[in-house]
Chains A and B, each alone.
Chain A
Amino acid sequence: MHCFGALAHRKYTVYDGLPKSGHYPNRASKETQEMNIVVTIKQVEDPITPPSHMVLDPSGKQVRSASGAPLVINGYDLNALEEALHLKEKHGGKVTAIGLGDVSGRKVFKRAIAMGADSAVLLADPQWEALDSFGIASVLAAGIRKLGNADLVLCGRQSSDSDGGQVLYWLAHMLDLPVVSPVIKIEESDASALVVHRLMDEEYQRLKVQLPALMGISSETNEPRLPTPKGTIAATRAMIPCWNASSLGLETSDSKVTLEKLEIQIRTSSAEFIRRDSGAESGKALADKMHELGLL
């Protein structure tokens, strides 16, 4: 989980990733509409992995891909990043990706830069391996405070692994930001407010939200872009600073929720197949079967 490998001996390790003075415009004195946007990134097992290709690690508390497929950026976080890049194109400003992970996370974070993020920060410490939503939000909040002056924090509406759906709300509370989720469209944006659409059941709400704010972004907003050649070069060169508990001044706190056990749900039942000489015959037989069961 720690990130002080070979890189620790290179001279740039003194760089702690803090923006140089003036790097981030000061919100209070800002004349332009520039936005400083922070996007939270989670690394997850590829969600297309079917249960039959999942295994549990020795602790029994972590799902891994049986084939060792690499981790990917959580899908909704890619939507959040795309939305951030779109706002940056419109208003100017800066997009910073931040998230927890282990050293292999650097690769995942480089993808965010390859897509167009200006910088990325990895939050890694061995003591953060089994955090609950509250703990993860505490780390993210400390990291975002250290970055400073965020106008907008964009998160994915939830992660595809734990399906927890809480971190963004704890984070908003800790940063004292208004929060809206799941956002399916950012209709208008200026330096002081956003008009967004929030998905409800059979309807959506149009809401006006004062900035700074935190949004949970859903997949309906956009189609995330692929890395650009220019971005890929930038990503190769990018230094991704790694902040740990002591660099964030964080002490461990007791978790409120603990994971006891995971069980992979392998489906063993299989369908009764209806087979006739042709597709059309099978379709007709299927209708007959449904009728017999009283389902039509």
Chain B
Amino acid sequence: MSGILVIGEVVGGSVTSQSLEAVAAARKLASDRGETLSGALFGADLAAAVAQFDASFSALLVLDSPQLGSYLAEPYVAAAELAIKRLNPSVVLLPHGSRTRDWVPQLAARLGAGLVLDCVGVGIKADGVAVTKPMHGGAVLGELFVRGSPAIVTLRGGAFEPALAGGGGNVEHLDMPPMPGAGRIQHLETVATETGTGPRLKDAKVIVSGGRGTGGSENWRFIEEAAAAIGAAVGCSRAIVDMGWLKWNHQVGLSGTIVAPDLYLAVGISGAVQHLAGISNAKTVVAINNDPDAEIFRRADYGVVGDFLEVLPAFTERAKELRK
């Protein structure tokens, strides 16, 4: 068994930038180990995505099938198992996301392969790979060793610089293999969650986010007004979702959305590690909190200690003037 295989992810017909980050990590690993680099893409209607995926693969396996349209794990597991049997790689890298976190562990279990999910570093080691992974909600960094072949690793977004995308070469199309265990789960429908009129949290450049310290749902309008004034998406801590003020798709953090804005304004958020893990890629973090010892101030670049009901409306008014 030899060679590095990177399996890209396709969303809305395009290869995700996180997939290109995985390519960059895979290319480095292939070069360090002196092994070949191969790619694979699974999905429905992949023509555009294949052209976007990296050209420097020794082989690019493509399984383009309507069965890979509405997401269910079984066809992805079957496709990946086929690709791995074909290439016999020593290491398989994938971007970590809402699909891969579901089907990749099922693949590992079928193959009996070692797997670590959601890693921020991957390197060579004899008879396996060494990985680093945030644990305890990001409070602890773990170093783990994945033994055997193939070793499978998913990579957290933002941890690597994406590789340049290029036209696909050496493309080989695969046919959908039989799917073990299929049919026990039936996809009824996919329901989009309302995201309001503001930008999507995941891609937002500016986010205004509120936590328990905002005090009550009647105060929430100040968060929304601030967000509207500076063109920001509205986020929140888990406490806000647990109290039913906002739906889960607004939650920032390890169990919500991992965000990477240029500006993250945290209002009344204490800074639980799970929340901080969700903003580790934010460029500038600003916190408003009445507790000077709040953990959020250890992460924040700028802070105001005070009652947000005084601070935030004044911030919003001034921001409106400045943006005129």
- Which residues from chain A sit less than 8 Å from chain B, CB to CB? 45, 47-51, 54, 63, 132-134, 157, 160-166, 169-170, 172-174, 176, 178-181, 184, 195, 197, 199-210, 213, 218-220, 223, 254-265, 267-275, 278-284, 286-291, 293, 295-296
28 CB-based A-B contacts, threshold 8 Å: A47-B137, A47-B273, A51-B139, A161-B135, A163-B254, A169-B108, A178-B181, A179-B73, A179-B106, A199-B98, A200-B98, A201-B202, A202-B195, A202-B200, A202-B202, A208-B185, A209-B185, A256-B112, A256-B115, A256-B148, A257-B114, A257-B147, A261-B143, A273-B297, A279-B306, A284-B314, A286-B302, A291-B319
* B: number of interface residues (CB 8 Å): 95
Q: How far is the CB of A131 from chain B (nearest CB, A)?
A: 13
In angstroms, Cα B300 to Cα A235, docked, is: 44
Report yes or no: B188 in contact with A195, Cβ–Cβ below 8 A.
yes
Q: Let me know if A219 and B319 touch, CB within 8 A.
A: no
Q: With A and B bound together, what is the CA distance between A169 and B241 in angstroms?
A: 27
Q: How far is the CA of A208 from the CA of B202 in the complex (A)?
A: 28
Residues of B within 8 A of A269 (CB): 298-299
A47 to B140, CA, bound (A): 12
Contact of B115 among A199, A255, A257, A280 (CB under 8 A): A257
The dominant DSSP class at the B interface is mixed
In the assembled complex, which residues on chain B have CB atoms less than 8 Å from the CB atom of A202?
192-193, 195, 200, 202, 249
A205 near B322 with CB under 8 A, answer no
Expressed in whole angstroms, the minimum distance between the Cβ of A265 and any Cβ of chain B is 6
Chain B residues closer than 8 Å to A173, beta-carbon distance:
106, 109-110
B: which residues have CB within 8 A of A?
70-71, 73, 97-99, 101-102, 105-106, 108-110, 112-118, 130, 133-148, 181, 184-193, 195, 200, 202, 206, 230, 238, 241-242, 248-249, 254-255, 257, 262-263, 272-274, 284, 286-288, 295, 297-307, 309-319, 322-323
Nearest-neighbour CB distance to chain B for A3, whole angstroms, equals 26
Contact flag A286-B311 (CB < 8 Å), given A202-B200, A213-B184, A270-B298: yes
Residue in contact with A163 in the complex, picked from B136, B303, B312, B323, CB distance below 8 Å = B136
B295 — which chain A residues lie within 8 A by C-beta? 50, 267
Decide: A165 and B318 in contact? CB cutoff 8 A: no
Please state if B142 and A166 are interface contacts (CB–CB under 8 Å). Answer: no
Residue of A nearest to B272 (CB): A48
User: Min CB distance, A90 to chain B, in Å?
Assistant: 21
Contact A219 B242 (CB under 8 A): yes
| Contact between B117 and A165, CB atoms less than 8 A apart | yes
Expressed in whole angstroms, the Cα–Cα distance for A264 and B137 within the complex equals: 11
Asked if B230 and A296 make an inter-chain contact with CB atoms under 8 angstroms apart, the answer reads: yes
Are the C-beta atoms of B305 and A257 separated by less than 8 Å? no
Interface of A is mostly: mixed
**Are B102 and A181 neighbours in the complex by a CB distance under 8 Å?**
yes
Contacting residues, chain A, for B202 (C-beta < 8 A): 201-202
Cβ-closest 3 pairs across A and B: A279-B310, A283-B314, A256-B114
Output the nearest chain A residue to B232 by Cβ-Cβ distance. Answer: A296
- The residues of B that contact A267 with a CB separation of less than 8 Å are 295, 298-299
Contact partner of A257 among B118, B144, B181, CB < 8 A? B144
- In the complex, what distance in Å separates the CA atom of A287 from the CA atom of B304? 11
A166 to B138, CA, bound (A): 17
- In chain A, what residue has the closest Cβ to B192? A203
CB distance from B86 to the nearest CB of A (A): 22
Judge whether B136 and A295 touch: CB under 8 Å. no
Known A-B contacts A160-B274, A169-B106; A205 and B71 likewise in contact (beta carbons under 8 Å): yes
Alpha-carbon distance between A126 and B178 when the two chains are bound, in angstroms: 42
A281 to chain B, nearest CB (A): 7
Task: Kindly list 4 other residue pairs between chains A and B, CB separation below 8 angstroms, not including A51-B273, A164-B117, A202-B200.
Answer: A51-B139, A170-B105, A203-B193, A295-B263
With a cutoff of 8 Å between Cβ atoms, the chain A residues found around residue B139 in the complex are: 49-51, 54, 63, 264-265
Q: A265 and B302: CB pair below 8 A?
A: no
CA distance A164 to B96 in the complex (A): 12
Docked CA distance A203–B71 (Å): 12
Q: Which residue of B lies closest to A254 (CB)?
A: B147
Bound-complex Cα distance A136 to B304 (A): 46
Given A208-B186, A280-B310, A287:B315 Cβ within 8 A: yes
Q: Which residues of A contact B287 (CB under 8 A)?
A: 271
Residues of B within 8 A of A270 (CB): 297-298
On whether the beta carbons of B305 and A273 are closer than 8 Å, the reply is yes
